[in-house]
């Protein structure tokens, strides 16, 4: 008897909770589907903000924006029922989350989707036959500054290697090298180490081979003023080919008198061949009236006070060594020109001076030598070793996206 009485008393409560659970589940499902419709409609409408007849403009077209929202919402249903209302508003949206109507210039859209008179399943037990349900979504053109850190490897322009040693570059003793005029140029080697020691001083950029380094003290090479980055790739020197046409070296002519007496070798042809050693000694001078190339099959020896070339224009004379003959500058000799000896060892002894540019298998400066490189000869030297550098920079761009903000 007591059990029956208890059941009678609690049955309405159980039925009520059951009805509430069923209808609540149905309402949540309907609300979620309405929210999806509102979000999609807001995004579609926001894509037409600032547009007028599909043309970018500063003025909003409310009819076009509303049409986009309604077309999108019509593709959705809520628990099987069509969406009965889609309200579109244009306005501004602030950081506090406040939406303010501004139809003409607003850059946000608020869309409200609704279903009216949605029947309940068991809500009628409590006298609630239907519900009105809605969902709201705000979307707009959101502009942000995006900063990216970009790291890339860049290839810098090639260096004019005005003095190049293929296998080695050893600047020892009391040696100095500078660039003439206001031009640019470098000393380079394919070797791992570009060596400067003793009292040598290099006032130019100095580039060792790939992965290499400059071995020098602070007094020899100022890394704050001059670049010492290694080359990215090695430089290849071409062999010297035998000339097809050439003239023989002319005989010397005695000039001057007394202590000023000297022997002058005046070059007037474009190409000369010395089949054997090319040797000049005290008081012998080689000059040229124009651009002249001297091919040598043996050794080159410039001794004493001999002078080769024109101090006012070193580009006039080029010496090219065929084969592996050695090149030696001794005493107080001076050379004004371009020396190309890809298989030769070049040595500067005594107080010999070198003006112009040169490329050889190796270059050793052992005396009290002075070298001045001529940037005007950059076109004659081998292609400078290109250099890679890793550059990291921050790039800030303005990105505008259409997105849901609420």
61 and 186 fall within a common domain? no
Compute the 3-state secondary structure of the chain and give helix, strand, coil in percent, each to the nearest 5: 15, 45, 40
* CA–CA distance, 213 with 207 (Å, rounded to integer): 8
Q: Are residues 142 and 164 in the same domain?
A: no
Domain co-membership, 124 together with 161: no
Instruction: Assess whether 288 and 240 both reside in one domain.
Output: yes
Does residue 393 lie in a domain region? no
> Residue 404 domain-assigned?
no
Give dist(CA 327, CA 318) in Å, integer.
14
Same domain flag for 227 and 85 = no
Any domain includes 315: yes
Query: Do residue 133 and residue 227 come from a single domain?
Result: no
In a domain, 396, yes or no: no
For 127, other C-beta atoms within 10 Å of its C-beta total 6
The parent domain of residue 40 ranges over 2-146
Rounded alpha-carbon distances, angstroms, from residue 294 to 106, 259, 373: 81, 29, 20
In degrees and rounded to multiples of 5, residue 310 shows phi and psi of -110, 120
Q: Is residue 177 part of a domain?
A: yes
Residue 202 resides in a domain: yes
Retrieve residue 17's tokens: 């909770």
Say whether 375 sits in a helix, a strand or coil.
helix
> Residues 163, 73: one domain?
no
Same domain, 261 and 324: yes
N- to C-terminal Cα separation, the chain:
58
The string of DSSP codes covering 279-345 is EE-TTEEEEESS-EEEEESS-EEE-TT-EES-TT-GGGEEEEE-SS--EEE-TT-EEEEEEEEEEEE
Angle between helices 62-73 and 2-46 (to 10 degrees): 140
Q: Does 170 lie in the same domain as 129?
A: no
107/166 same-domain check: no
From the list 31, 100, 49, 32, the residue with the least C-alpha distance to 403 is 49
Among 88, 122, 146, residue at a domain's last position:
146
pTM for this prediction: 0.59
Same domain, 171 and 61: no
Number of domains present in the structure of the chain: 2
| Within a domain: 391 | no
Q: Which of 124, 146, 168 is the last residue of a domain?
A: 146
pLDDT along the chain (406 residues), means of 10: 52 52 71 84 83 63 85 82 83 85 85 77 57 83 77 66 91 77 76 83 85 83 79 88 91 73 86 92 83 93 90 90 94 92 93 92 88 85 62 75 77
65 located within any domain: yes
What's the alpha-carbon Rg for the chain, to the nearest Å?
Answer: 44
**60 and 175 together in one domain:** no
- Name the H helices within 47-163: 62-73
């Amino acid at each position: 008897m007591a059990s029956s009485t208890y059941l009678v008393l609690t049955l309405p409560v159980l039925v009520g909770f059951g009805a509430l659970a069923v209808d609540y589940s149905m309402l949540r499902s309907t609300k979620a589907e309405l929210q999806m419709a509102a979000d999609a409609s807001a995004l579609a409408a926001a894509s037409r903000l600032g547009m007028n007849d599909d043309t970018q403009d500063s003025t909003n077209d409310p009819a076009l924006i509303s049409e986009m929202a309604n077309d999108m919402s019509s593709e959705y249903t809520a628990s099987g029922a069509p969406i009965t209302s889609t309200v579109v508003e244009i306005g501004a949206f602030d950081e506090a989350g406040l939406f303010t109507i501004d139809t003409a210039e607003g850059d946000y859209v608020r869309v409200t989707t609704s279903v009216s008179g949605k029947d309940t399943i068991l809500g009628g037990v409590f006298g609630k036959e239907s519900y009105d349900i809605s969902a709201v979504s705000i979307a707009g053109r959101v502009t942000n500054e995006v900063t990216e850190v970009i790291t890339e490897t860049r290839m810098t322009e090639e260096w004019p290697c005005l003095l190049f040693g293929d296998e080695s570059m050893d600047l020892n003793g009391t040696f100095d090298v500078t660039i003439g005029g206001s031009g640019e140029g470098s000393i380079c080697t394919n070797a791992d180490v570009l060596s400067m020691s003793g009292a040598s001083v290099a006032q130019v950029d100095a580039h060792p081979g790939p992965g290499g380094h400059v071995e020098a003290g602070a007094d020899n090479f100022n890394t704050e003023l001059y670049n010492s980055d290694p080359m990215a790739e090695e430089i290849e020197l071409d062999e010297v080919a035998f000339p097809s046409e050439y003239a023989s070296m002319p005989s010397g002519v005695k000039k001057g008198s007394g202590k000023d007496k000297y022997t002058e070798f005046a070059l007037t042809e474009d190409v000369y061949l010395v089949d054997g050693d090319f040797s000049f000694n005290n008081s012998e001078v080689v000059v040229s009236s124009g651009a002249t190339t001297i091919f040598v099959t043996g050794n080159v020896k410039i001794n004493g006070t001999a002078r080769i070339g024109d101090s006012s224009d070193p580009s006039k004379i080029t010496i090219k060594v065929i084969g592996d003959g050695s090149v030696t500058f001794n005493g107080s000799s001076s050379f004004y020109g371009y020396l190309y000896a890809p298989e030769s060892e070049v040595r500067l002894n005594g107080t010999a001076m070198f003006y112009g540019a040169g490329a050889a298998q190796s270059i050793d400066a052992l005396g009290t030598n002075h070298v001045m490189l001529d940037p005007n000869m950059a076109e004659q030297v081998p292609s400078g070793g290109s250099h890679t550098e890793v550059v990291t920079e921050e790039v800030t761009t303005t990105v505008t996206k259409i997105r849901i903000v609420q």
